[in-house]
Structure 1
Amino acid sequence: MSALRTTNEANTASKVIKPSGTKPPSRTNAATGKSTSSQFAALADIWLPRLVLSPTIIASLIFVYGFIALTAYLSLTESRMMPNYEFAGFSQYAALFEIDRWWVAAANLGIFGGLFILFCLITGLLMAVLLDQKIRAEGALRAIYLYPMALSFIVTGAAWKWILNPGLGLEKLMHDWGYKNFSFDWLVDSDMAIYTVVIAGVWQSSGFVMALFLAGLRGVDDSIIKAAMVDGASLPTIYRRIVIPSLRPVFFSVLLVLAHIAIKSFDLVMALTAGGPGTSSDVPAIFMYQFSFTRGQLGLGAASAMMMLATVLAVLVPLMYMETKGAAHGR
């Protein structure tokens, strides 16, 4: 009997005492059936990114969109040296459109923007196609093409101002070499000064465009190109019919970036021509700066800034619409 009692006590003890290494049951929520730790992890996954991004979002709302709204309101006031928050309607816009200098600046923006975008696209695409042929010293050439992008527009403008100066740069060099009839005085010619800005801008940005196009070309499937070559297609035909049409998203990005650079161009023009001779190479950014901060016409400057924003939207919205429509149709 004593042996049987000892055996029963041992069995009871083995049921009561848990083996080492087992974890206690997790606390669960009676309503959802989920453990408290898993609920906390789920809440952290939802709210932690929002908490991290919230300072950036708040700063953007205040310092970007908030100041855009403030500028828009100031353009509807009679603000001079200091802001005047009394509503005055569209009188500043009416006064802006009566200023001849504004229309000169707008025309110069059209000339500069159109030629700048066109030549950057052509030059960047040709350089990218050249480097895509796996030529020797590709790395060195890529670095040379990209080097101007490492410079600021102020440095670019100052360098090209020396190069194009008739008394210091290219014209003087050709005269020293014996070409006395050579003339290149665009920098001091009121009819040609804006084209010197185009030259400097294209030199600065073509390497960046080349890098974008080269990345797109390297993403094209080689099997498609090899199949076209087997079918007898020449290399120019392959690029014209197959490769370049497949770069539609790259073209969209390049157009967007270049249009943004052209519309807000300020430092390049100031360093190269300062808007001169006279106001012949003036652009809206210079007009806005001078009327807002040097002439005490804050409301008029705000109106010109809003016209620049409208120009950006006029370029951005159609491009985004075409890209979205093309993506929807699988192109």
Structure 2
Amino acid sequence: MAHLAKADFRTRLQEWLPKLVLSPSIAAMLVFVYGFILYTLYLSFTDSRMLPSYDWVGVENYVKLWGLRAWWTAVINLGIFAGLYITICTAIGLTLAILLDQKIRGEGTLRPIYLYPMALSFIVTGTAWKWIMDPGIGIEHTMHLWGWESFQFNWIKDREMAIYTVVIAAVWQTSGFVMSMFLAGLRGIDNEILKAAQIDGASNWSLYRRIVIPLLRPAFLSAFVILAHLAVKSYDLIIALTGGGPGRATELPATFMYSYTFTRNSMGIGAASAVIMLMTIAAIMTPYLYAELKEKK
């Protein structure tokens, strides 16, 4: 009997031990992630300014938010940045993946080189590209020293072009990661399918257009979701590269939220912008998760 009781105790301990180990992490996540999300949602319906306030004002903050010119500037900039960022990263990543999939010499060396920028933080990337694109010390200055006096590359100081410098820096950092996703998808395609198409006389263009690209649909979807949510929450890159300027030329919702919450003492409006950002990410993630769960079923 004692032996059976001891075995039963060990079995129960094995069942409960993982739960006991994970419970502090789960509790912390519930409080510091989902708890503060709910708290931010609540603050967005209050008249909070420099400090949290609990006087309910309904959707007044959301009405004020959509009436602010600065918010519209941030939203338009996000549309430009996200559209170019996702499109260019996808195109470059797919192209590099197709080239590396040809079993070229030196693939083992090229792959880490393309992936290296992803190992850097956006702060480092923003700071480095700020130096590179600064007319006083960067590319323009270097070209002038080499004798090309007419060369100009002052986008980072130009209100109309500054947002495109953010695209350049973001694409440089993330394209290698997208390449690795597409390369994994290409390596997962059954070679027998490709050989059968080649035997039937399919050209390389037809092979990729009719077989390879459609089979990469999960990789395209995953890349889109990752890039879209990175675009929405881009804060550190903007701060390090342009600081949101010149003027508000590179303001994004993430920087708008920070400035209105902590520097303009409009916590209610800042919370409302944070909720809208969360809803945007949820709108991107929910269909993706639904498709993944449906496919598994």
Q: State if a TM-score over 0.5 links the two structures.
A: yes
State yes or no: 1:270 paired with 2:239: yes
The aligned length equals 297
Counterpart Cα distance in 1 of 2:22 and 2:209: 44
Counterpart Cα distance in 1 of 2:19 and 2:220: 33
Residue aligning to 1:118 = 87
SS across alignment from 2:216: helix
Deviations 1:295-324 (A, max 9, x none): 221111111111111111122223334555
Cα distance change of structure 1 residues 287 and 228 upon mapping to structure 2, 3 Å threshold: same
Residue aligning to 2:112 = 143
Identify the structure with bigger relative contact order (alpha carbons < 8 Å, sequence gap 6+): 2
- Which stretch of the first structure deviates more once superposed, 46-55 or 260-269? 46-55
* Residue 189 (structure 1) aligned to one of 158, 161, 165: 158
State yes or no: 1:132 paired with 2:92: no
1:165 offset after TM fit, Å? 1.6
Counterpart Cα distance in 1 of 2:2 and 2:25: 37
Counterpart Cα distance in 1 of 2:266 and 2:2: 68
1:217 offset after TM fit, Å? 1.4
The Cα RMSD (Å) is 1.9
1:262 offset after TM fit, Å? 0.5
Whichever residue aligns with residue 48 of structure 2, its letter is S
Whichever residue aligns with residue 223 of structure 1, its letter is E
1:98 offset after TM fit, Å? 1.4
* Residue 260 (structure 1) aligned to one of 205, 229, 241: 229
- Which stretch of the first structure deviates more once superposed, 105-114 or 236-245? 236-245
State yes or no: 1:297 paired with 2:282: no
* Residue 57 (structure 1) aligned to one of 6, 22, 26: 26
Counterpart Cα distance in 1 of 2:201 and 2:21: 56
1:176 offset after TM fit, Å? 3.3
* Residue 69 (structure 1) aligned to one of 25, 38, 63: 38
State yes or no: 1:152 paired with 2:116: no
1:38 offset after TM fit, Å? 5.3
* Residue 306 (structure 1) aligned to one of 257, 265, 275: 275
SS across alignment from 1:215: helix
Contact 1:124 1:208 in 2 (8 A): yes
Q: Percent same amino acid among aligned pairs?
A: 57
- Unmatched runs of 5 consecutive residues or more in structure 2: none
- Which stretch of the first structure deviates more once superposed, 212-221 or 116-125? 212-221
SS across alignment from 2:54: coil
Deviations 1:37-88 (A, max 9, x none): 5544543443233222222211111110000000000111111111112222
Counterpart Cα distance in 2 of 1:172 and 1:85: 54
- Which stretch of the first structure deviates more once superposed, 76-85 or 309-318? 309-318
State yes or no: 1:214 paired with 2:183: yes
1:209 offset after TM fit, Å? 0.7
Larger-Rg structure: 1
Counterpart Cα distance in 2 of 1:43 and 1:247: 45
1:216 offset after TM fit, Å? 1.6
Contact 1:249 1:323 in 2 (8 A): no
Residue aligning to 1:101 = 70
Counterpart Cα distance in 1 of 2:257 and 2:30: 23
- Unmatched runs of 5 consecutive residues or more in structure 1: 1-25, 29-34
Whichever residue aligns with residue 221 of structure 1, its letter is D
Contact 1:252 1:323 in 2 (8 A): no
Counterpart Cα distance in 1 of 2:34 and 2:202: 51
